[in-house]
Amino acid sequence: MSIIPSFVSGRRNNNALDNWDPFKGFLFPSSLSTYLPEFSRETSAFVNTRIDWKETPEAHVFKADLPGLKKEEVRVEVEDDRVLQISGERKIEKEEKNETWHRMERSGGKFLRKFRLPENANMDGVKAAMENGVLTVTVPKVQIKKPEVKAIQISG
């Protein structure tokens, strides 16, 4: 018996990827429910929600992949101390009596992400749009007025 999984050694086993867990025994979000009851399967969407944040000369732009969610299921909020909060909930399909599930990998549940924005963020101009399952939040930058430099003539 080899300790190397079959997909590495070249042998084919249909269940090799299902049975082998390289992270088994490590404390990762999927196993947090064992140690902390508040981390259940329902919070896995919170952990798995990926958000990109880039800064352009004009704005801070956040992009979140939220496949299958409608804009009504997502909330974008701004807190007083320059904190952008993106939250929502992905509903889990309920199993019906006449259905047989073979695999359920899509995560469901609530998610919440917070970002502290820098001083140059214009909190009054935040805009959000959702298209094809991608949420884009644009936070414009405050136009910092450069100090006016006035040349003074030197007499004498």
Residues of the chain with pLDDT under 50: 9, 11, 13-17, 30-46
Helix (H, G, I), strand (E, B), or coil: what is residue 9? helix
Q: What is the pTM of this model?
A: 0.61
Looking at residue 86, its amino acid is: I
What is the pLDDT, as a whole number, of residue 109?
83
What is the pLDDT, as a whole number, of residue 19?
54
CA angle 75, 78, 80 (to 5 degrees): 150
Residue 46's closest CA among 110, 107, 115?
110
Residue 115's closest CA among 79, 69, 140, 90?
79
List, in sequence order, the alpha helices (H) in the chain: 6-9, 16-19, 32-35, 44-48
What is the pLDDT, as a whole number, of residue 101?
79
Helix (H, G, I), strand (E, B), or coil: what is residue 58? coil
Distance CA(35)–CA(76), nearest Å, equals 31
What is the pLDDT, as a whole number, of residue 26?
56
